[in-house]
Amino acid sequence: MTDWVRKIGAWLAVMALAVPAAPYLSAQDATQVTSTPQGGFTLKVNNDLVLTNVVARDAKTGELVKGLTKSDFTVFENGKQQSIDTFDFESVDMATPLNEATVSGLAAGPTINAGSKAVVVAKPADLRNHRLIVMFFDLTSMQPEDLNRSVDAAQAFLKSKMQPADLVALVSLGDTLNVDQDFTADKNALINEVGAYNGTESQGFQAGATANTNQVEDTTGYTPDESEYNDVNTDRELFALRAVSQSLSKIDEKKSLLYFSGGISRDGIENQASLRAAINAAVRANLAIYSVDTRGLQAIGPLGDASTGSLRGNGAYNGSALTNNMNTNFASQEVMATLSSDTGGKAFFDSNDFAPAFAQVQRDTSAYYAVGFHSTNPARDGKYRKLTFKINKPGIKLEFRPGYYAPADFQHSGKEDREQELNDELASDLPATDIAVYLDAMHFRLDENRYFMPVSLLVPGSQIPFVKGGDKDKATLDIIGEVIDEVKRPIGRVRETVKLNLDPTLNARQKNIQYTTSFNLPPGKYELKFVVRENQTGRMGSFEADVTLPDMKKAPLKMSSIVLSAMREPSKKTGKEVDPLVRNGQEYVPDIAHVFRQDQHMYLLYEVYDPTRQKADTLPKGAKPGINLLSSLELIQGSTKVYETPLVQAKAINVENRDAVAVEMDVPLAGLKPGAYLCQLNVIDDAGGSFAFPRFAVLVRDAAPAAAPAQPQSSAGGGAQ
């Protein structure tokens, strides 16, 4: 893993939407955003159906009660009676046999690797009255002996207890989340695939190979403590459970998930947003989670097990060590218990016999009433709502899920939920397109094995709902980004909340907002993804790009990216910070769109590395060897060259610590007609006989009506300074 700079420089640029304009503002001038409703009427319709499965049993014998009707039930939400809109009874006794059927349900999820071994695809209607069971093996949390126990129990169930109405799917979490077998009634296929988890069948996972699946080598010198590792690992496990739930949401029938795990640890309220998101996704998918602690019955001693180092002090003798070990074990089971209780399932702890878990799943899904209603509470506040079902016949006991989380809009989301939403979008394969986002990345060499890579994001001001705050236009943007290397490891990350506090005279809604950050990376190929969210309505946009930082060792002419800018502003960076975008105290703000006005200047900045030194025998007697780097810029329209800058010559290195020549050009645009131009930059290393002629397009617009016309000039100012 490489070192990286989270944020070397950042600024906000306000530019004209179609035409870049001059004013640029610092993030230090911004404040919090509030809401201003737009004019007109909005009709909101709540189509969220709350679907709950109810099992009716005889209060004395525990036998299932059949033949009940919709009028026999009454449902209450937070004590208020609701009108039942849908009602159905399903029983495995009425299941239509499916000939080795497989339904494409799990593998359809975009966040799950589809390794499904399908036989015959079944229609969703054919699943009625069937028992749908997902066996989820969390390989990242289980020791080899735990894995063997869970595999043996699963195979025993499949061989002797699986019924004709059962359809079973297999999911595993190792390095990735995989669907190893989609829903099928083929016992042999399931038995073989389960055996692959511990190497007893097929060519699956090797026993014990999962102990360090979440560890990534880190050479930065930073070592997370145990609590931080647990938080990351727990989020990953909960995200996997939510992904499975979302993949099953299109199947209306009740589904059961047997979650085999060696425990999930968390600290205090950490992972609360991930836990609630996983539970909510399961409830909405009509999925009950049955947690199975594969560690089985444990003998917890004050000295711990063989994985624990020797204790010091009196803890082993005064009871504190034993209490600590018991609390740790309880904490690792608490998340699993919550997942089960809140989704209508059951947790199975402290037993080496896992058969009761399979029996409970079959018992709970043999026959049930599916009751649906539309809540009379339209608030999308994300709060927990308690459910109560009553029956008008005596002697009947009802079993049902105790409640659910209401849908939440952005305004009612908490801080943790909002942060989780950003991270989820960053991890999603599907781009967010609610607001437009544009991105450009450049590179400058710091040394032979390191690059400075500035990244600029641009969001049209028309996409941001600015609100009035005193005499300012205000808005808040959340920005999150990630750099991923060729082996899919995240090696750089940015998380920033930017508060805008702009003067209304800038007409921010008609301009663009630009944000720039930077990374410090070695040569190689990378994937960039950034997500931007405006915090008034919660709309998001994302941008992904592939970036290559070249290895210049064998290049005849070593050049950086070419930065185009409409303005330079005084830099606030200290002299200790290495930032190639800063020259002589002025910071170049990259222009992503390459769109300029006639009343502006087009500034260019680029660097040439390791220029060839002149040979002594070619120089006048007594002259010291130097360099001879020549540059000029041509503007071409159609097939005609309409403008060329005077030749800029550099005879000495001006970036000593990086053996580089920084070349600056100032091109006034007042003498150019509006239109599109093709620009060709001519760079010649005269001493080395190497050259480059990069090309890029620019667009010149009419001058702003209120702007004073710039004085025409016929030459490019500046040069290699």
Question: If you ran DSSP here, which 8-state letter would residue 323 be given?
Answer: H
On the CB side of 529, CA atoms within 13 Å amount to 19
pLDDT digits (tens, 9 = 90+) for 376-422: 998 877 788 899 999 999 999 998 888 888 877 777 777 888 888 89
What distances in angstroms separate CA 538 from CA 380, 475, 535, one per listed residue? 14, 12, 5
Task: Evaluate whether 267 touches 230 at the Cβ level (below 8 Å).
Answer: yes
Pick the CATH number of 104-213+229-300+326-368 from 3.40.50.410, 3.60.15.10, 3.30.300.170, 3.30.565.10: 3.40.50.410
- Across the range 46-57, mean pLDDT stands at 80
How many residues are there in the chain?
721
pLDDT for the residue numbered 511: 84
519 or 313, which is more confident? 519
455 or 710, which is more confident? 455
pLDDT digits (tens, 9 = 90+) for 136-189: 999 988 888 889 999 999 999 999 999 888 889 999 988 888 888 888 888 888
- How is residue 359 written in tokens? 């029996």
pLDDT for the residue numbered 680: 95
- Across the range 50-71, mean pLDDT stands at 89
Domain ranges of the chain: 104-213+229-300+326-368, 554-721
Q: Within 10 A of 119 (CB to CB), how many other CB atoms are there?
A: 16
| Same topology between domain 104-213+229-300+326-368 and domain 554-721 | no
pLDDT for the residue numbered 405: 80
Task: Give all strands (DSSP E) within 538-685, no chain letters.
Answer: 540-549, 558-559, 563-570, 582-583, 586-590, 595-597, 601-609, 629-637, 640-644, 648-650, 660-668, 675-685
CA angle 307, 312, 313 (to 5 degrees): 145
- Spatial separation of the C-alpha atoms in residues 497 and 418, rounded to whole Å: 12
Three-state SS at 712: coil
- Across the range 266-271, mean pLDDT stands at 59
- Calculate the CA dihedral of residues 185, 186, 191, 193 and round it to 10 degrees: -100
Residue 20 pLDDT exceeds 70: no
pLDDT for the residue numbered 673: 92
Confidence of residue 451 (pLDDT cuts 50, 70, 90): very high
pLDDT digits (tens, 9 = 90+) for 615-637: 766 666 666 678 899 999 999 99
- How is residue 651 written in tokens? 């005879």
pLDDT for the residue numbered 580: 93
pLDDT for the residue numbered 450: 93
CATH number of the structural domain 554-721: 2.60.40.3880
Q: Which helix (H) or strand (E) holds 480?
A: strand 472-484
Exposure b/e, 609-619, CB count within 10 A at least 16 = b: bbbbebeeeee
Q: Within 10 A of 52 (CB to CB), how many other CB atoms are there?
A: 22
Phi and psi torsions of 590, nearest 5°: -60, 135
Q: For the chain, what is the mean pLDDT?
A: 78
Task: Evaluate whether 432 touches 541 at the Cβ level (below 8 Å).
Answer: yes
Q: 0.95 exceeded by the pTM? A: no
Question: If you ran DSSP here, which 8-state letter would residue 508 be given?
Answer: G
Task: List the helix and strand counts (H, then E) for the chain.
Answer: 8, 41
pLDDT for the residue numbered 414: 76
pLDDT for the residue numbered 642: 93
Question: If you ran DSSP here, which 8-state letter would residue 407 be given?
Answer: P
- Spatial separation of the C-alpha atoms in residues 481 and 455, rounded to whole Å: 10
- Across the range 342-360, mean pLDDT stands at 90
Nearest CA to 172 among 205, 209, 146?
205
What distances in angstroms separate CA 398 from CA 22, 82, 252, 365, one per listed residue? 69, 17, 21, 14
Residue 576 pLDDT exceeds 80: no
277 or 57, which is more confident? 57
- Across the range 101-128, mean pLDDT stands at 56
CA pseudo-torsion sign 702, 706, 707, 712: positive
Strand partners, 565: 590, 603
- How is residue 194 written in tokens? 């389960």
CA pseudo-torsion sign 631, 635, 641, 643: negative
Three-state SS at 545: strand
* Lowest-pLDDT choice from 209-218, 276-285, 538-547, 692-701: 209-218
Confidence of residue 691 (pLDDT cuts 50, 70, 90): very high
- Across the range 84-97, mean pLDDT stands at 80
pLDDT for the residue numbered 603: 96
Three-state SS at 68: coil
Nearest CA to 188 among 177, 173, 201, 197?
201
Three-state SS at 61: coil
Q: How are beta strands 177-184 and 113-114 bridged, if at all?
A: parallel
Task: Evaluate whether 712 touches 636 at the Cβ level (below 8 Å).
Answer: no
pLDDT for the residue numbered 107: 53
pLDDT for the residue numbered 719: 35
CA angle 382, 387, 393 (to 5 degrees): 165
Q: How are beta strands 467-469 and 444-447 bridged, if at all?
A: unpaired
pLDDT for the residue numbered 653: 92
User: For the residues of 2-33, what is the DSSP string, one character each?
Assistant: ----S-S---EEEEESSS--S-EE-GGG----
* Lowest-pLDDT choice from 119-123, 498-502, 633-637, 683-687: 119-123
Nearest CA to 563 among 694, 372, 692, 390?
694
- Spatial separation of the C-alpha atoms in residues 119 and 527, rounded to whole Å: 37
pLDDT for the residue numbered 699: 93
73 or 321, which is more confident? 73
Residue 268 pLDDT exceeds 80: no
* Lowest-pLDDT choice from 145-149, 194-198, 218-222, 342-346: 218-222
pLDDT for the residue numbered 597: 92
- Across the range 482-488, mean pLDDT stands at 92
pLDDT for the residue numbered 600: 93
Residue 58 pLDDT exceeds 80: yes
pLDDT for the residue numbered 71: 93
Question: If you ran DSSP here, which 8-state letter would residue 389 be given?
Answer: E
Residue 110 pLDDT exceeds 60: no
pLDDT for the residue numbered 397: 93
